[in-house]
Structure formats: C-alpha cells, structure tokens
Amino acid sequence: MTDLTDLYQEIILDHNRAPRNYGPLAEANRRALGHNPLCGDRLVLSLRVVDDRIDDIRFEGSGCAISKASASLMTEAIKGHPLAAVEALFDRFHAMLTAAPDRPVTEVGMGKLEALAGVREFPIRIKCATLPWHTLRAALASGGTATVTTE
C-alpha cells in the first residue's frame, strides 16, 4: 500500500509542477471562474464544446498543489470525451472523494484520477480537489461564462 501511496503522491507532484493543458484557450465557447475561499484556490477554465463533446479544454489560475493537480488531471481525463461520459466520471470521482476514509479505494478504471483518493483523509482538501469539477459543471450549465464559489 505504501508503494501505491508513493505513486499517487508522485502523480500529484508531477501535475502540480508541470500542469497539463495549462494556459488560455483561443476560441473557447464556455468559460468559468472557480474560487475556493477556504484555501484561496482560483481557477479559470476555458473549453470548447462541439457536438456535445469537449473538443478542447485549458485552465489557468493559482492555488495549492491539490487544486492544480486536480485541474490538470481532469483536463487530461475529459479532453475529447462526450459530455455524458464526463458527467458520469464526475459522479464517480465525487463518490470516491466523499467515501469514508477507512474504506479501501474500490474505484477502478478512473486512471490517474485515483491518485486523488487520498484527499478524503483530509476533509478540508476535498474542496480543493473538487473545485475544477464544480467549475467545469458551472461552465457547461451556463452555456457561456459562469462564476462558482465553493461553500
């Protein structure tokens, strides 16, 4: 189990150090600003939706390692995918993070997103990990530009 924890930590550190899909996105047709006042994470998500599919997605912002790694991992996981699949993935991701800390991680097929499962042992960090996803939801629901703040 220690090896797995080390691997997860390595994934998070790597995505914090070198975030994927970072920067502005030209020709975005959805955009949302996410803010997590508990930690100070700020995130701008820009995406281009074409035919109910996430054609492209990028993010910018400043925040802790968890929020940045989560945003990076999210963009990697959903880019090119249909919106219905993205919604299903969010549900599974959210269930993983809100499960009891002592329950073994049974989620499979979530790829690198599983690296964030350890966050559930630190309740204050859960909002850092879910911020990118709530911001994504707000952007998709708005059909334009939205702002979301975690409570």
Question: Closer to Zn ion at the Cβ: 5 or 62?
Answer: 62
Question: Closer to Zn ion at the Cβ: 30 or 127?
Answer: 127
* Burial zone of 135 (CB within 10 Å; 0-12 exposed, 13-18 middle, 19+ buried): buried
User: Smallest distance from the beta carbon of 84 to Zn ion, in angstroms?
Assistant: 29
User: Smallest distance from the beta carbon of 108 to Zn ion, in angstroms?
Assistant: 27
Question: Closer to Zn ion at the Cβ: 128 or 136?
Answer: 128
CA distance 30 to 84: 17
Residues within the interface to Zn ion (CB under 5 A): 39, 41, 64, 67, 128
Q: Which helix (H) or strand (E) holds 53?
A: strand 53-62
- Residue 144 phi, psi (nearest 5): -160, -110
User: Smallest distance from the beta carbon of 127 to Zn ion, in angstroms?
Assistant: 7
Among 58, 112, 50, 111, smallest CA distance to 83 is for: 50
- Residue 38 phi, psi (nearest 5): -60, -35
Question: Closer to Zn ion at the Cβ: 41 or 114?
Answer: 41
User: Smallest distance from the beta carbon of 68 to Zn ion, in angstroms?
Assistant: 8
Report whether 30 contacts 140 (CB < 8 A). Answer: yes
